[in-house]
Chains A and B, each alone.
Chain A
């Protein structure tokens, strides 16, 4: 049984215009997503802005209410759990954000930000044990225990992200949802945080749902990858196979758009035309068909299902085989 199972999850937002107007449009941010994350597994969630990956991550943690479908955590359906019971479960899944600065209280020493999490879940029996736990957590993310008394503004972006990770780890979660955790960091610092996440994941048998727009980062950190487009998963599979032989035309285009340093690389470039359509007014049939280089007539009418292509690979494309 997987640790996290998402079944046909939907998150729709009504878009209102005026108080009298009924919700005239629906923004289908997440529209029927199913996936599973095993215990200790890292699943990457890749897509461009507006594809629904952040909303999906938040819905998994029940930070936004799903419109439909189920989120099952460790065998327990948490989709409709009352707030009080949910709080007990919250210990098991944590989140790391893109901008660590805005998620840390600027007036609290970072040790207190970490300690708060311990207090909420009563994880430290006394002050000495609490201080020791905080020190240990800081060390585990590559900082020093004496950093606990400093304030967020005294740290660099990379260090703040480490603090964010330490805080998430404080309650010993089994799953961490990471929302673009390295996108705001300098290139030379990104690698430090990626390596740290990789180490922690392996040492602590953590499950990660790693949300990113950067396929290279995801391939590096995750065993499996899911690619999202307009609220749906269009391709899913083992990371290395998916990046070396993508089956969905969107994944192919996404991969070919990733900049490559090597001046001698002989890649075929697929530059997609047009923009990502508005999720308020998604195209009929396959949501990718207006930009798809190989679209056929039926792509305009039939919505392709996420099909099993064998060897753990799935793609939502009529033409993928």
Chain B
């Protein structure tokens, strides 16, 4: 168990390192002089020269990469080229908004998808099952950016149920989170439906029924727990998808989170900030997968203790 965890940690570190190297190389291969972006189009060659010197922009790429990695290894993400704010601090200030948004979104979609998945599996082939399937397929094909705009226009602006934009409290998060949830709920409802259908055919549900358990306990206590095991794995992988959605939604609803920070820093070619947001997102994804791994083991005792290997 411990070796396994150490193993996971090691590969997580490798993933983060790879992300850092790749992002760094990509940004620096983009045409355009960082110094020009910082100083403005009318800056004199001397100023450009100074900036180059200050940020070691004339050093060879591998040297700058090494310097940056060493800096990150010390726990220092550097400072913004534009505002000179430490990157770590910028991330810390914006984290609560993003975390609340993402957490709320996951809660929304799972709370909707679990009953939908269970009920459509229970009443397989009914009109209810079929209409959920149609709606689920529709939401799957919605573009995040478009949906965010539509929700903002329809629900906030026209109906006035929610604030249109900005972040001054919990209420401001509800619609953006609902938007994100809407993008995923159809997929998860189908996923849970498929898993439930499979589990419902399993002999252990028949055993549960043969004991005299009421159908609700058969489905929820014995069925759902087993059906959710693979769903948790997919949820872990979807954290990356969620962060992509966060990027769009934060920008549409003007939420001061990490997604907004990322987009701003790209426009400014603010290299330390881009690196910071990318690394932070990567760390989130990796961290989520570690959490899922633990959760998975907790949910599935067969994985926890390692199966018995007895080939015939």
Contact = CB atoms under 8 A, between A and B. Distances in A.
Q: Do chains A and B touch in the complex (CB under 8 A)?
A: yes
Interface stretch (A48-56, A73-81, A156-164): A48-56
A4 interface: no
A18 B312 contact: no
Nearest to A50: B310
Interface string A268-282: 000000000011100
A54 B311 contact: yes
Nearest to A27: B309
Given A17-B4, A18-B7, A20-B3, A280 B312 contact: no
Contact of A20 (B6, B310, B311): B6
A49 B7 CA distance: 33
Contacts of B6: 18, 20
A260 interface: no
A18 B6 CA distance: 9
Interface in A232-264: none
A174 B312 CA distance: 25
Contacts of A19: 7
B13 to A, nearest CB: 14
- For B7, B309, B312, the residue with the greatest tally of chain A CB atoms inside 10 Å of its CB is B312
A278 B7 contact: no
Nearest to A57: B312
Interface in A266-299: 278-280
Interface in A21-66: 21, 27, 29, 49-55
A55 B312 CA distance: 7
Nearest to B5: A18
A26 to B, nearest CB: 11
B306 A17 contact: yes
A279 B310 contact: yes
B168 interface: no
A29 B4 contact: no
Interface in B260-312: 306, 308-312
A13 interface: yes
B311 A280 contact: no
A129 interface: no
B3 A21 contact: yes
- For B3, B7, B311, the residue with the greatest tally of chain A CB atoms inside 10 Å of its CB is B311
Nearest to B8: A18
Contacts of B311: 13, 27, 29, 50, 54-55
A241 to B, nearest CB: 27
A280 B3 contact: no
Nearest to B6: A20
Contacts of A279: 310
Nearest to B312: A54
Nearest to A51: B312
Given A17-B4, A19-B7, A49 B310 contact: yes
Interface residues of A, number: 19
A54 B310 CA distance: 12
A305 interface: no
B4 to A, nearest CB: 5
B309 A15 contact: yes
A215 B228 CA distance: 44
Interface string A100-134: 00000000000000000000000000000000000
A55 B309 CA distance: 13
Contacts of A51: 312
Contacts of A20: 3, 6-7, 10
Contact of A278 (B4, B10, B308, B312): B308
A278 B306 CA distance: 14
A280 B309 CA distance: 8
A13 B309 CA distance: 10
Interface string A4-19: 0000000001010111
A49 B309 contact: no
A145 B7 CA distance: 57
A227 to B, nearest CB: 15
A30 B43 CA distance: 79
B11 to A, nearest CB: 8
A18 B310 CA distance: 18
A126 B143 CA distance: 59
Interface string B1-39: 001101100100000000000000000000000000000
B3 A278 contact: no
Interface string B102-135: 0000000000000000000000000000000000
Nearest to A29: B311
A279 B309 CA distance: 9
A13 B312 CA distance: 12
Contacts of A27: 309, 311
Contacts of A54: 311-312
B3 A18 contact: yes
Contacts of B310: 49-50, 278-280
Contacts of A13: 309, 311
B215 to A, nearest CB: 34
Contacts of A280: 308-310
15 contacts: A15-B309, A17-B4, A18-B3, A19-B7, A20-B6, A20-B7, A27-B309, A27-B311, A29-B311, A49-B312, A50-B311, A50-B312, A54-B312, A55-B311, A279-B310
Interface of B: 3-4, 6-7, 10, 306, 308-312
Give the top 3 A-B pairs by smallest Cβ distance, nearest first.
Answer: A54-B312, A18-B3, A50-B310
Given A13-B309, A55-B311, A278-B308, 10 more contacts: A15-B309, A17-B4, A20-B3, A20-B6, A20-B10, A21-B3, A50-B312, A54-B312, A280-B308, A280-B309
